């Protein structure tokens, strides 16, 4: 009888990471099962902090339940796609019809499908660093190579288009732009976006513009839709219901293609083929799209002065400003803060060890900065979804832990030790 061997995973997963839901999150679940109350700030999940999907969207689904029992067109139901078209037109994007809109099970699925339809072995995609790690993972899983362009803390996490241009090679197929940015909250200035648009057009790169936080901006920050700037190459605008409409569980996202769509017939056909293979996306939740995009935009109250998200962001700004150890480039948008730890004060700081210590000792779960494909180890990401009182308490716990680090000069550990402790 043959001895049973370990079942090995695919070699293609060797360089795929998604630490936001990784070992730290699993350890947090273990602690919760033991009875500890964990403040989970690692994921932007509005419902976990009491933020509800607008009632009108829920009613739209209920009223159309009978229409949601069968498969729909592989690109999505027409009312949802047409609502995306109308939103694009209202923003000044021309030439988009329902035929250029694909509805997916969240933007996450569409990131995978749009890259799978494009990439061959070794093709390169320019991805920001820090990034939302699904972009890097999806490039890798689809046989490509993610080339990270730096968005440096000292520049407010805004990329330098000249630096990006130096990374373009004959193998470069596309550039990913995340604006407003996750994890940093940076909102890119128009001049930077224009320069990136010209760069993409000059080299014939597809622009994948991840705009899931498009209406979540603070204190006058201007969101500029990338599709209004890209004309002489293909632009894919990706967005959905998860964040602005607080409907993560509905799993509805869309990709709207504009620009040189006439030169992308084969590519869009390949994307439709992949969409057909998964039959269709969640039909019931698609019926909420038209109501969401055409109705009252309740997110505006949440991000305006006096609104929940605005006040929570203010609490983060205040806490970091008064900290002995922390720094922060003020996030202009989204629902996160990418907090830095001063390396001059804590030269041995390690973001993964800190995240583990914060979880074990203070019962707060954050995402280490290294999770977002950066070369430095002195940042962590939190969400500003909790109310301001909870965030003040969290930063008190952070300050206490960093105070312990400062009073006991030692290397907080290394990645190998952290990994071993989380097995």
Q: Is the pLDDT of residue 357 over 60?
A: yes
Check whether residue 308 and residue 188 sit in a common domain. no
Do 191 and 280 belong to one domain?
yes
Same structural domain for residues 247 and 287? yes
Do you know the residue count of the chain? 423
- Neighbouring CB atoms inside 10 A of 149's CB total 22
* Residue 5 belongs to some domain of the structure: no
Write out pLDDT tens, residues 3-57: 667 888 887 777 777 777 788 999 999 999 999 999 999 989 999 999 999 999 9
- Tally of domains within the chain: 2
pLDDT of the residue at 414: 45
Give the pLDDT band of residue 166 (cuts 50, 70, 90): very high
Identify the band that residue 416 occupies on the pLDDT scale cut at 50, 70 and 90: very low
DSSP secondary-structure letter at 304?
Answer: S
Q: Does 312 lie in the same domain as 247? A: no
Q: What is the mean pLDDT of residues 113-129?
A: 97
pLDDT tens digit sequence for 229-267: 999 999 999 999 999 999 999 999 999 999 999 999 999
Question: Among residues 294, 318, 335, which one ends one of the domains?
Answer: 294
Say what the pLDDT of residue 423 is. Answer: 47
Q: What is the DSSP string of 340-353?
A: EE-TTT-TT--HHH
Same domain? 357 vs 391: yes
Please indicate, yes or no, if residue 4 is contained in any of the structural domains.
no
pLDDT at 22: 81
pLDDT at 15: 75
pLDDT tens-digit profile of 205-238? 999 999 999 999 999 999 999 999 999 999 999 9
Q: What is the pTM of this model?
A: 0.93
CB 384 within 8 A of CB 313: yes
How far CA 326 is from CA of 129, 152, 322, 396, in Å, comes to 20, 16, 8, 12
Residues 351 and 316 in one domain: yes
Q: Which domain holds residue 136?
A: 56-294
Q: Are 88 and 199 part of one and the same domain? A: yes
Average pLDDT, the chain: 93
Give the percent of the chain with pLDDT over 70. Answer: 96
The answer to whether residue 6 sits within a structural domain is: no
Same domain, yes or no, for 277 and 400? no
**Is it the case that residue 418 has pLDDT exceeding 70?**
no
Residues 117 and 134 in one domain: yes
How high is the pLDDT of residue 16? Answer: 76
If you search the block for the tokens 């000059």, which residue do you land on? 202
- The verdict on 278 and 388 lying in the same domain is no
Please tell me the predicted confidence (pLDDT) of residue 408.
Answer: 81
Say which residue the tokens 């829920």 belong to: 58
Residue 13: per-residue pLDDT: 78
Task: Centre a 10 Å sphere on the Cβ of residue 311 and count the other Cβ atoms it contains.
Answer: 16
pLDDT digits (tens, 9 = 90+) for 292-346: 999 889 999 999 999 999 999 999 999 999 999 999 999 999 999 999 999 999 9
Distance CA 346, CA 344 (A): 6
Give the C-alpha separation, 46 to 43, whole Å: 9
* Cis peptide upstream of residue 130 (ω within 30 degrees of 0): yes
- Residue 139: CB partners within 8 Å, gap ≥ 6? 115, 119, 125, 127, 145, 146
pLDDT of residue 412: 47
Alpha-carbon span 351 to 349, nearest angstrom: 6
- Here the CATH number for the domain that contains residue 305 is 3.90.1150.10
**Same domain membership, residue 405 and residue 317:** yes
């Amino acid at each position: 009888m043959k001895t049973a061997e370990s079942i090995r995973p695919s070699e293609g997963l060797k360089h795929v990471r998604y630490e936001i839901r990784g070992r730290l999150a699993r350890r947090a679940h273990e602690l919760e099962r033991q009875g500890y109350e964990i403040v989970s700030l690692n994921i932007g999940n509005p419902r976990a902090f009491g933020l509800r999907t607008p009632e009108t969207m829920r009613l739209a689904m209920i009223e159309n339940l009978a229409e949601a029992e069968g498969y729909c067109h592989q690109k999505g139901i027409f009312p949802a796609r047409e609502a995306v078209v109308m939103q694009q037109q209202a923003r000044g994007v021309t030439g988009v019809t329902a035929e250029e809109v694909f509805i997916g099970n969240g933007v996450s699925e569409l990131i995978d499908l749009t890259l799978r339809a494009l990439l061959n072995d070794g093709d390169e995609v320019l991805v920001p660093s820090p990034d939302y790690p699904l972009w890097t993972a999806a490039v890798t899983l689809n046989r490509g190579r993610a080339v990270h362009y730096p968005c440096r803390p000292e520049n407010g996490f805004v990329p330098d288009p000249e630096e990006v241009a130096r990374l373009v090679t004959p193998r470069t197929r596309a550039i990913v732009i995340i604006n407003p940015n996750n994890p940093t909250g940076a909102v890119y200035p128009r001049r930077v976006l224009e320069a990136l648009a010209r760069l993409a057009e000059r080299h014939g790169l597809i622009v994948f513009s991840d705009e899931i936080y498009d209406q979540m901006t603070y204190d006058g920050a201007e969101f500029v839709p990338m599709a209004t700037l890209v004309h002489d190459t293909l632009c894919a605008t990706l967005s959905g219901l998860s964040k602005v409409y607080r409907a993560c569980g509905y799993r509805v996202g869309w990709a709207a293609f504009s620009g040189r769509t006439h030169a992308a017939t084969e590519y869009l056909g390949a994307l439709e083929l992949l969409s057909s293979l998964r039959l269709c996306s969640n039909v019931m939740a698609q019926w909420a799209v038209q109501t969401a995009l055409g109705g009252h935009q309740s997110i505006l109250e949440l991000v305006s002065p006096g609104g929940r998200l605005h006040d929570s962001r203010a609490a983060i700004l205040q806490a970091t400003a008064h900290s002995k150890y922390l720094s922060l480039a003020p996030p202009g948008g989204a629902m996160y803060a990418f907090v830095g730890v001063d390396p001059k004060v804590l030269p041995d700081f390690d973001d993964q060890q800190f995240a583990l210590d914060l979880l074990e000792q203070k019962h707060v779960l954050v995402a280490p900065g290294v999770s977002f494909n950066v070369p430095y180890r002195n940042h962590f990401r939190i969400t500003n979804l909790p109310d301001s009182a909870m965030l003040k308490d969290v930063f008190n716990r952070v300050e206490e832990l960093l105070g312990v680090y400062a009073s006991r000069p030692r290397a907080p550990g290394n990645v190998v030790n952290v990994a071993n402790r989380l097995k």
